[in-house]
Structure 1
Amino acid sequence: MFADDLIVYRGIRGTQDEVQFQEDLDKLVSWAELWGMKFNASKCKVMRISRKRDPGHPSYQMLGTTLEEVTSTQYLGIHIQNNLKWDVQTHYAVGKATRVLNFLMRNFHNCTKKIKEQLYNSMVKPHLQYASAAWNPGMVKNKDLLEKVQRRAARFVMGDFHRTSSVTEMLQQISWETIEEGRIKTRTRTLQKIIMNRLAIDGSKYFKPKPSRSRRGHENQLVLHETPYTDIMKQSFFAEAIAIWNRFPVVPVPDDDDDSKSLTSQKPQLNF
């Protein structure tokens, strides 16, 4: 719950859960009235996340208004879809980044390479990487859309828009990592913080130490409690981050609390 953002969720396994969920909403309305506040029912939505062909469509009400059912919703700047894919979020991030980049290209084309690069890193790239530990573009087509924005930015920084020019060489000259590489680092560092109890997330609910270590890799490899079978599960945070974590030859940790620094080959004390 935040000042202007609240999510209520419940696992629905039958009619009783549907009744209970409506009671949850009624309690929220009563709580708001007690404290002199009022929900705007027209802005409240319902979204169902299910792999069932027919999950059912019971209606829910607040303040006498039947809540609209949607297939995606925005929460803290991230668009969540009912099929747990990230198409909407990818297009949203690409759209915001592209609009800012177009503005920079129109108004700062005569600036130096250094200033252009600073503008990109401070005003465009954050839109492509925002909350990248929480969401994953997943499909190759979505990853390519994100990379395409950065490739246009490389042309802007280098001042070279010739069709015959190699954008790959430009990226090498300015030493930019790909958006995917940045996302992998962010997810790995987030997993490190969870393992080292720096975040209020109980990792033991999701993974445990690997019972038998493989010949390759470090001694602190992990395994999920549930084996991911679907693509959605394989691309989720813990599944992807742990797969990357286990591939390192040694346990990678930041030099200190500054996440911007590169990873080093230290071995932290893991707490489970």
Structure 2
Amino acid sequence: MSWQCALTAQKTNSILSCIKRSVASRSREVILPLYSALVRTHLEYCLPLWSAQHRKDMDLLQQVQRRATTMIRGLEHLSYEDRLRELGLFSLEKRRLQGDLIAAFQYLKGTYRKDGERLFIRECSDRMRSDSFKLKERRFRLAIRKKFFTERVVRHWNRLLREVVDAPSLEVFKARLDGDLSNLV
């Protein structure tokens, strides 16, 4: 387990304890904005920097989100997946994938297009969808390469629907991607 992950989980759990002790109402309208702000400041800030690769790290961070969703009155009896679906949230693993796909969109079609031309190899084939944004999966001897951003995002990018990939702007892409990811459950 990495020390960054343990420290992040510890800080976030202590803040959740403070919220639980100090907030009188446990309604969705009160807890969810507090949790969203907490995730933005702690969990999502740390995830892209070192991208938890080990299952223990991901489970530890996921446990923080489990704890926060059980704080909401009326959802305690539901399973974790049902609580996430009810709140319109994604698991941290799916959130990481969402962030990776948004970054890939920016490299391929958006702000960082010039840099994206060097990062990704496009694949042209008659068997694939007819857009020019199909990426080539490369093979490597070492499994460690699969964890690099440019490699872990390719398979998921190629599985996206054409309507999602052909989005005219980043906002439209994010909205379509949310719909596509919510179907994955």
Match of 1:130 among 31, 45, 61: 45
Are the aligned partners of 1:210 and 1:222 in contact in 2 as well (CA < 8 Å)? yes
Report matched runs for 1:129-148 at 5 Å. Answer: 129-130=44-45, 132-148=47-63
What one-letter code is carried by the residue in structure 1 that aligns with 2:99? T
Q: What residue is the counterpart of 2:157 in the other structure? A: 245
Residues 154 and 188 (structure 1), Cα distance of their counterparts in 2 relative to 1, 3 Å cut: same
Counterpart of 1:198 in structure 2 is 111
* 1:107-156 Cα shifts (integer Å, max 9, x gaps): 11434321111100112454111264453212222221111111100111
Per-residue displacement from partner, 1:218-259 (whole Å, max 9, x unpaired)?
Answer: 6321126x6444343211111111221112231635663448
5+ residue gaps, structure 1:
1-85, 265-272
Letter in 2 for 1:129: E
One-letter code aligned to 1:103:
C
One-letter amino acid of the structure 1 residue matched with residue 69 of structure 2: A
Change (3 A) 1:259 1:228: farther
CA deviation string 1:67-102 (max 9, x = no partner): xxxxxxxxxxxxxxxxxxx82332233223222212
Q: Relative to total residues, which structure has the larger helix share, 1 or 2?
A: 2
Contact between 2:164 and 2:173, CA under 8 Å: does it hold in 1? Answer: no
Higher RCO structure (Cα 8 Å, ≥6 apart):
2
The AA in structure 2 aligned to 1:110 is: S
Question: Structure 2 vs 1, CA of residues 148 and 221 (structure 1 numbering), >3 Å: closer, same or farther?
Answer: same
> TM-score, normalised to structure 2's length?
0.76
Q: Which runs of 4+ in 1 moved over 6 A?
A: none
After superposition, the C-alpha distances for 1:167-212 in whole angstroms (9 at most, x for unaligned) are 3333332232111111111110111111125038622333221143
> Percent identity at matched positions?
22
Unaligned runs of 5+ in 2: 178-185
Q: 2:55 is matched by which residue type in structure 1?
A: V
The structure that has the greater radius of gyration is: 1
What SS does the aligned partner of 2:121 have? strand
Q: How many residue pairs end up in the alignment?
A: 175
Mapped contact 1:193–1:199 kept (Cα < 8 A): yes
Contact 1:255 1:263 in 2 (8 A): no
**Distance of 2:159 and 2:75 partners within structure 1:** 38
- Quick one: structure 1 residues 134 and 260, their matched pair in 2 at CA, closer, same or farther if it must change by over 3 Å? farther
Q: Which has the higher strand share?
A: 1
